[in-house]
Amino acid sequence: MAAETFWNNRDQAQKLIDEAATLRKKIDPLVSAEKRLDDFRVMTELAEGEPAEQQLPHQQELERDLVRFGRDLDLLELKVLLNGPHDKNNCILSINAGAGGTEAQDWAEMLSRMYTRWAESRKWEVEVTDALPGDGAGLKSITMLLQGENAYGFCKAERGVHRLVRISPFDSNKRRHTSFASVDTIAELEEAPAELAIPPNEFKVDTFRSGGKGGQNVNKVETAVRITHIPTGLIVASQTQRSQHQNRATAMKLLLSRIYAQRVDEQKAEMERFYGDKGSISWGNQIRSYVFQPYRMVKDLRTGVETSDVQGVMDGDLDPFVNGWLRAGCPAKRMQGVKDEEE
């Protein structure tokens, strides 16, 4: 960047500037942490040289600073762990009700609220791109776009089947029910890779009237768009934008992201994949259990992280589970944890 000819090619120069900025963003926190650590060493040495009666205030201040430093190191460690090629991207998160009928559809809606609260606590933007209401209650499925720093990197920990045990509010006999819902997460592509050039004749585009509440066009004109990729059978829909053009652009972006994720998946032999063989959305395939009765506990079956604060989790306190998954090691170890728990 210091070369005299650096700005001769402006496009290349901007590319290098962006690359340098990305590298600085990774390195600067580490340099800052090392400097703070050196400062603690100096402060400790100075405190040790003072009279005993003057050491206590400095020691208390140092301990408070060390606690804050420890929290900052935890955050730095998580950023280091988010080193996947798409971890920094926005996330397309989909929830589908599984076995359990109306109870499962209500559970899917509860999960959508939980993830919305979690995203908002992280200052991410949440955009619902498609939702299919349940039969009388809840949701059969919902797709949300979570937009924020490292959204996909954190959200990928949530992919799998989530199991709920509670006394059903839909059962007049007040019996305990077990319900399931699956969560899929894929990275939103900022731009389609060159190898993802797909002929237009492979897409089938349908329009329909949007459902639910909205502006004056909703339920009056066909603004909603559904796009099908014929070779793979993948289908996406968008109905929350105000115009058909906006919904079409959103749906195409979602579909390209799904196609890319599926192609990457086909090249992998690892057990954990974007669209791996999850099995049915039912007993024996869950990654996390949420028990409301007869006791209260949420437990991640991959890592063993658990809490009795069920309400806190449903209000979006997911960081202990997500961070625990990120720190658990390689995907093979995480999946082995599921097998061990089930056995």
* Residues 288-304 pLDDT 10s: 999 998 899 999 999 99
- Residue 199 above 60 pLDDT? yes
Nearest one of 298, 259, 251, 252 to 114, comparing CA atoms: 298
Rounded Cα distance between 126 and 253, Å, is 16
Beta-strand pair 139-147/176-187: unpaired
pLDDT-based confidence at residue 213 (cuts at 50, 70, 90) = very low
Q: Give me the pLDDT at residue 168, please.
A: 87
CB distance 241 to 262 below 8 Å = no
Span 83-98, pLDDT tens digits:
888 898 999 999 999 9
Q: Give me the pLDDT at residue 100, please.
A: 73
CB distance 82 to 153 below 8 Å = yes
Rounded Cα distance between 72 and 81, Å, is 14
| Residue 121, CA distances (Å) to 108, 117, 203, 315, 324 in order | 20, 6, 37, 10, 18
What Rg value do the Cα atoms of the chain yield, rounded? 24
The 234-238 sheet, strands edge to edge: 203-208, 224-229, 234-238
Mean of pLDDT over the chain: 83
pLDDT-based confidence at residue 245 (cuts at 50, 70, 90) = confident
- Residue 325 above 50 pLDDT? yes
Range with the largest mean pLDDT of 77-81, 106-110, 190-194, 276-280? 106-110
Angle, alpha carbons 118-133-207 (nearest 5°): 105
Nearest one of 59, 297, 98, 88 to 184, comparing CA atoms: 98
- Residue 214 above 60 pLDDT? no
CB distance 211 to 220 below 8 Å = no
| Residue 335, CA distances (Å) to 133, 176, 263, 304, 341 in order | 32, 29, 22, 12, 10
In percent, the amount of the chain with pLDDT more than 70 equals 85
Range with the largest mean pLDDT of 82-86, 122-126, 326-330? 122-126
Span 158-195, pLDDT tens digits:
999 999 999 988 887 888 889 999 999 999 987 767 66
Nearest one of 88, 89, 87, 95 to 129, comparing CA atoms: 95
Q: What is the Cα 208 distance to its own chain's centre? A: 29
- Residue 249 above 60 pLDDT? yes
- Residue 334 above 50 pLDDT? no
pLDDT-based confidence at residue 62 (cuts at 50, 70, 90) = confident
Average pLDDT over residues 111-132: 95
Average pLDDT over residues 193-212: 79
More confident residue, 219 or 146: 146
In percent, the amount of the chain with pLDDT more than 90 equals 41
Instruction: Please name the residues in contact with 16: beta carbons below 8 A apart, sequence gap of 6 or more.
Output: 1, 6
pLDDT-based confidence at residue 280 (cuts at 50, 70, 90) = low
More confident residue, 55 or 180: 180
- Residue 140 above 90 pLDDT? yes
Residues facing 123 on adjacent strands: none
- Residue 14 above 60 pLDDT? yes
Q: Give me the pLDDT at residue 268, please.
A: 62
> What is the residue-wise DSSP string for 140-195?
EEEEEEEESTTHHHHHGGG-EEEEEEEE-TT-TT--EEEEEEEEEEEEPPSS--GG
Q: What is the reported pTM?
A: 0.73
Nearest one of 130, 144, 90, 134 to 108, comparing CA atoms: 134
Q: Give me the pLDDT at residue 157, please.
A: 93
> What is the residue-wise DSSP string for 48-60?
HTS-HHHHHHHHH
Tokens of 33: 């942490």
Residue 259 half-sphere exposure, CB side, CA atoms within 13 Å?
24
Q: Give me the pLDDT at residue 329, please.
A: 63
CB distance 180 to 135 below 8 Å = no
Residue with tokens 């097998």: 339
Q: Give me the pLDDT at residue 166, please.
A: 93
Inter-helix orientation angle 10-48/52-81, to 10° = 150
